[in-house]
Structure 1
Amino acid sequence: LRQFIEVQLTDAEQKLRKSEDSLRRHTERTGAKGVGGYMSSRLVDLETKKSELLKRYTAQHPEVQRLEQQIKAVEEQMKQLPAEELEYARIDREVKINEELYTLLAKRYKEAQISEADRVQSAFIVTPATEPTAPIKPNRMMNITVGIFLGIFLGFVFALLIENLDTSIGTIEDVEKYLDLPVLGIIPHIELDQKQKKMVPRKTEREQRIYLLRSRLVVYHSSKSPFVESYHTLRTNLKLTSSFVAKDTADKKAKILAFTSAGIGEGKTITASNFALAAAQSGIKTLLIETDLRRPSLHWIFGLSRNPGFSDCVIGTKKWTDVIRGTTDFLMGGLGTEKILQSPGIENLSILTAGPSVSNPIDILNSPETGKMIKEMSSNFELIVLDCPPALLFADALIMGTHATGTIIVYQVGRMARRALKRTKDQLATLKVPIIGVALNNVKTSELGSYYGYGYYYSYKYYSKDNASKVK
């Protein structure tokens, strides 16, 4: 802006000097006194006043009319002036205009200089830039340090995650060392043959589940099959367990065994049922009680009515001697007459179903009547088997475990995390529930291998095609 004004100021100065020279030469040549200049200034003043009045009034206003008359009078006087005076007035007017323009530009030029001098510098150099001797990025030392700490942290997280989700069992010794409990039995995995698969009901999911559970009962398999033998092995190992033998010699009443698991779907109900059937086939008077009052399935497997049952006996509406089921009920149930008649020792088995649903299973199981009833039953049977809910999910198994001679934890390899199994054992041990050992259920060859000599179990599928009876 200052430079622009400076150029305009120089131009105005030249015009002013030129007009002043013209006025001086005209005066020297003609001798004009400047009367025309005065009259010209007077005319300009009148024209200015007239313009101001016309902004507020019309042309017919008296003041405007009066100024109009004065302007005409000055113009008439100027017409009477000599030509030299008129030229003088014109040149003088030009000098005044140039003076005003020069004065204005000179003032603006000074203002621009002052403004430029007062302007504060918005940016200035604090430290001069220096040429770097090494690249700023990547910072290798920082990246290596962060990578090491991040690797350690992620490794710890992954290790913790794998440990909590690990369901693998390397060897039986690993299980026994991990839980500090003996493995009492290994129940092999069995497959349905093609004919049995075709006989699976297609109507409802419940019917399919009942059929698959019932197909795993020992009464549907040959007594010489490895599957049935695994339960006899479980019973034999149980009898040889030191804690069990010690209690057996001290108390001649019935042994009470509770079967539980860490979570649902591990096969505790079918394991308890087959253990009771295997004991009955061996001539032991056995009572199987359905103490899982939350999700009872024992009565479905044997084709029995749920009501009346265990909860009725505890409440006092029924006597246990009147509601236990025996051979007659099995014949009328869903197992099939042929299977019942072909099963030796089935008359030694009695079953007490869960009974009607209750809103407070804990109160029912923790009732003093429960203890009294079980004690009374132990005088009438040689073996009582309790099918309990999962110990890690409900306190029911912890309560019933206090009434038992011993508790067996059923663990399906590959279904639940090992830490869940360990937590189940610790939870039972905290309440001083006597834990006898672990039964590994539904074990496949890929999970144990042939190191333990259990490979012969898995020829069962071929064996069952020729000898095992079909499930009805």
Structure 2
Amino acid sequence: MAQYELNVLDYWLIVKKRKGTILLSMGLVIAFTLALTQYLKPAPIYEASTRVKFERSNTFATLMLESLSSQGSSDLNTEIEVIRSFPVVERVAKELNIVKSGVSPEEARSSDYLGAIYGLQQTIKTSIEGASNIIRISVTANTADMAQRFANTVAETYRAENIRTRNKTVFESRRFVEEQLAAHEAALKLAEEALRDFKEREGQVFLNEEAKAALESFTRLEADYDKVSRQRDETAKQIETLQKPGSHRQVERIFTDEPTALLSVLNSKLADRMQERDNLLINYTHEHLLVKEMDRKIKNVKDEMIRELESKLKNLDGREKVLKEQIDTYRKRYFNFPKAAIQLTRLERDVAVSADLFAKLKVKHQELLIKNSERIEEVSIIEPAILPSSPINQPNNQMNFIVAVIMGGFLGVVLAFARESFDTSIGTIEGVEEFMQVPVLGVIPRFNEKEQLEAAAMELPPNTKPETISLFSKLVCLYDEKSVISEGFRSLRTNIQFASSERQAKTFLFTSAGLGEGKTTTIANLALTMAQDGKRVLLVDADLRRPFVHARLGLERTPGLAEVLIGGLPWRDAVRTVTDLMIGLLGVDRIVNTPGIDLLNVMTSGNLPHSPAEFINSPKFLEIIREMREEYDVVLFDTPPILPIADAVMMSSKVDGVILVYQVGRIGRSALKRAKFLVDHAQGKVLGMVLTNVRAEITPEYGYYRYEYR
């Protein structure tokens, strides 16, 4: 290949020359990409998203219950974990019938049950949108309908769980008050019935003012004693609850009716710590350092509460002791009071206490009903999930196609330039001249076989045989003198005349390095062109291996050169004239209408001998060539290829010049170089080369054109 600097046009010509490689590479890459995409196409996964708004409620009920609420310190980060927590996901699984409802504790701890819950948990993703208080809940499922139902169920279940948790204290307090209200109503009825029975049985009981006041004081002391005793028992139970061995479940919160007391603050603090611990257990085990640290904080709060309760218990013990002493004093002092009066006073005290407790519970119940109507709702669904239109893992065929086109084009260009780099043929005129050190005498454009057949058929009669049309289509200079191909042969004729003018060369040998490079078609058209130029031309088919000149011109093969060299036939008797051409397949009309063709004579190969090389290298052949040179202006010899057969090499020194025919891109440059070396070594003179099958590379702005002379 010639070593010269490539410009943009050269690169474009390489791409255009190797466009088949590029298109094939693109096609293969695109087909492979699409096939692989379909083969590896995963099962469809649909994603649906819903958005919820979490906003901390600041209602009056919230402020009153903040100290008892188990969600007092929740924030958005806690909430996004709560959404994926086990209780919420379990309720979602039951709503979607993924797990059965009402299972036994043993079934709820089974691996299948827990695996279904945790598997569902992995398909839920939560995220905070920017700096807002809006949480996006995204879920994945195998079907679009399931994904939509799943997302909406998660949002609704989370909202219901938040309402239940935030209003848990109100619900529990109301239930407790209602239970106590029913119990105290029954106790009040019993006390009233006992008092009524006593009065019916004992009648009217009269006491003086001093006795009545003493009995009232005595009754009040007993009521205070009962109250202190109940508080003491309650405090002792609270201490016992807090002193139970630590478990991994949330401890029962103690109840106090003193919201401003230290014990109430500690109780709220304990509830917050337990909530934080539950949130940690969503992602960590009980042995994790953060969980252990939270257990330590919970223990510290419980210890403080135990100390506070023990102090309260000590005070209650003291009050109980004082009240007991006062009751004993009254009992000794007024021992002589009538028993009926004392019993009446106690019954009246029981009715009064029961009535007072019942009235207070009624008031408390009304307050809790009001609080219940002010239900705390911190979560609202602002955007329900819609039916997803396509899977999230669907292959992007459009993007894959674009990438495949780009990669295929890139790979094709790389392969095209690689083929061009490894191509040992010579593809440019500069390359041929520089590598072979001989001039290029002619450039014959590529034959478009279909167009040539159509053009030949138009010049011949309608009933012409197909083999005649095929034969005629190769002789372009005979029927289309204005074509680019005919101009190429005329240019070759002119260059040969200039190249041989100094040596007065008349005999020329046409050969090629390998088979099928177009030398016979080239020499036949060149002979016609030279005859049309007024030269007396003799075309000799010296290819005694695979002769083809007779077929190209529509002549009989015998007699020919073989009979001249072997049988002793005078060479002039083997020469065919214009008359033979008229009788042959070309016909009279075409020959008569072609000026100058009467100056063309042809000698065919004749019958093929067994050892052609012996006769070609004989002195007789050399004498015949000398005589031909004297009688004709130009003698053209068509010979076999150089590399497979030595005939052309032996003849090269017997003629005035050798012209190598080279079909561009057909054989490697080393083979072409070897052919020239053999001719030079045999003392032959290579005048130049003819390039055939050349595809003209013309920029679009010039287009394709035809030469026409008028």
TM-score (norm 1): 0.56
* Paired amino acid for 2:539: L
Change (3 A) 1:417 1:332: same
Counterpart position of 1:184: 441
Counterpart pick for 2:485 among 193, 203, 227: 227
8 A Cα contact 1:259 1:408, kept in partner: yes
Counterpart pick for 1:420 among 662, 671, 675: 671
Change (3 A) 1:309 1:223: same
* Paired amino acid for 2:537: T
Change (3 A) 1:413 1:290: same
Q: Map of 1:117-132 to 2, 5 A cutoff?
A: none
8 A Cα contact 2:553 2:585, kept in partner: yes
Deviations 1:34-86 (A, max 9, x none): xxxxxxxxxxxxxxxxxxxxxxxxxxxxxxxxxxxxxxxxxxxxxxxxxxxxx
Q: CA deviation at 1:196?
A: 2.9
Counterpart position of 1:326: 577
- 1:177 is paired with a residue of what secondary structure? helix
8 A Cα contact 2:561 2:606, kept in partner: yes
* Paired amino acid for 1:184: L
Change (3 A) 1:286 1:166: same
8 A Cα contact 1:299 1:306, kept in partner: yes
C-alpha distance in structure 2 between counterparts of 1:411 and 1:219, whole Å: 20
Counterpart position of 2:502: 246
C-alpha distance in structure 1 between counterparts of 2:421 and 2:621, whole Å: 39
Change (3 A) 1:211 1:414: farther
TM-score (norm 2): 0.38
Counterpart position of 1:450: 698
8 A Cα contact 1:213 1:270, kept in partner: no
8 A Cα contact 2:468 2:586, kept in partner: no
Q: CA deviation at 1:313?
A: 0.8
Counterpart pick for 1:314 among 565, 578, 582: 565
Change (3 A) 1:330 1:222: same
Change (3 A) 1:437 1:387: same
- Whether 1:299 and 2:299 are equivalent positions in the alignment is no
Q: CA deviation at 1:214?
A: 3.6
8 A Cα contact 1:163 1:419, kept in partner: no
Change (3 A) 1:395 1:235: same
- Whether 1:196 and 2:453 are equivalent positions in the alignment is yes
C-alpha distance in structure 1 between counterparts of 2:610 and 2:495, whole Å: 38
C-alpha distance in structure 2 between counterparts of 1:295 and 1:163, whole Å: 35
Counterpart position of 2:40: none
Q: Map of 1:96-111 to 2, 5 A cutoff?
A: none
- 1:379 is paired with a residue of what secondary structure? helix
Change (3 A) 1:389 1:308: same
Counterpart position of 2:413: none
Deviations 1:192-214 (A, max 9, x none): 446936999xxxxxx98885454
C-alpha distance in structure 2 between counterparts of 1:218 and 1:418, whole Å: 29
Q: CA deviation at 1:419?
A: 1.6
C-alpha distance in structure 1 between counterparts of 2:561 and 2:595, whole Å: 27
Counterpart pick for 2:618 among 367, 370, 373: 367
8 A Cα contact 1:164 1:417, kept in partner: no
- 1:276 is paired with a residue of what secondary structure? helix
Change (3 A) 1:194 1:362: closer
Change (3 A) 1:195 1:313: closer
- 1:385 is paired with a residue of what secondary structure? strand
8 A Cα contact 1:176 1:182, kept in partner: yes
- 1:393 is paired with a residue of what secondary structure? coil
* Paired amino acid for 1:229: E
Change (3 A) 1:212 1:179: farther
Q: CA deviation at 1:166?
A: 2.4
Counterpart position of 1:137: none
Change (3 A) 1:339 1:396: same
Change (3 A) 1:376 1:265: same
Q: Percent identity?
A: 37
Listed as ranges, the gaps of 5+ residues in structure 1 are 1-158, 201-206, 249-253, 468-472
* Paired amino acid for 1:404: V
8 A Cα contact 2:506 2:634, kept in partner: yes
Change (3 A) 1:195 1:302: closer
Counterpart pick for 1:287 among 538, 547, 550: 538
Query: How many correspondences in the alignment?
Result: 285
Counterpart position of 1:260: 511
C-alpha distance in structure 1 between counterparts of 2:573 and 2:452, whole Å: 40
- 1:439 is paired with a residue of what secondary structure? strand
C-alpha distance in structure 2 between counterparts of 1:297 and 1:323, whole Å: 16
* Paired amino acid for 2:698: S
- 2:448 is paired with a residue of what secondary structure? coil
Counterpart position of 1:217: 475
Q: CA deviation at 1:236?
A: 1.1
8 A Cα contact 2:471 2:554, kept in partner: no
C-alpha distance in structure 2 between counterparts of 1:165 and 1:420, whole Å: 13
* Paired amino acid for 1:329: D
Deviations 1:181-240 (A, max 9, x none): 10011001131446936999xxxxxx9888545412134432222211111111111222
Deviations 1:124-169 (A, max 9, x none): xxxxxxxxxxxxxxxxxxxxxxxxxxxxxxxxxxx99988852241
- 1:407 is paired with a residue of what secondary structure? strand
C-alpha distance in structure 2 between counterparts of 1:212 and 1:270, whole Å: 12
8 A Cα contact 1:405 1:434, kept in partner: yes
Q: Map of 1:49-128 to 2, 5 A cutoff?
A: none
Change (3 A) 1:397 1:411: same
Q: CA deviation at 1:303?
A: 1.1
Change (3 A) 1:291 1:168: same
C-alpha distance in structure 2 between counterparts of 1:279 and 1:308, whole Å: 24
Q: CA deviation at 1:311?
A: 1.0
8 A Cα contact 1:303 1:334, kept in partner: yes
8 A Cα contact 2:510 2:636, kept in partner: yes
C-alpha distance in structure 2 between counterparts of 1:213 and 1:166, whole Å: 33
* Paired amino acid for 2:638: D
Counterpart position of 2:429: 172
Change (3 A) 1:442 1:434: same
C-alpha distance in structure 2 between counterparts of 1:235 and 1:224, whole Å: 15
Higher relative contact order (CA 8 A, sep 6+): 1
Change (3 A) 1:369 1:195: closer
C-alpha distance in structure 2 between counterparts of 1:308 and 1:379, whole Å: 22
Q: CA deviation at 1:246?
A: 2.2
C-alpha distance in structure 1 between counterparts of 2:468 and 2:423, whole Å: 29
C-alpha distance in structure 1 between counterparts of 2:610 and 2:498, whole Å: 40
8 A Cα contact 2:510 2:660, kept in partner: yes
Counterpart position of 1:354: 605
Change (3 A) 1:323 1:266: same
Query: Root-mean-square deviation (CA), in Å?
Result: 3.0
Deviations 1:337-380 (A, max 9, x none): 22111111001000000011110010110111100111111111
Change (3 A) 1:290 1:164: farther
- Whether 1:343 and 2:594 are equivalent positions in the alignment is yes
- 2:442 is paired with a residue of what secondary structure? strand
- 1:246 is paired with a residue of what secondary structure? coil
C-alpha distance in structure 1 between counterparts of 2:521 and 2:539, whole Å: 11
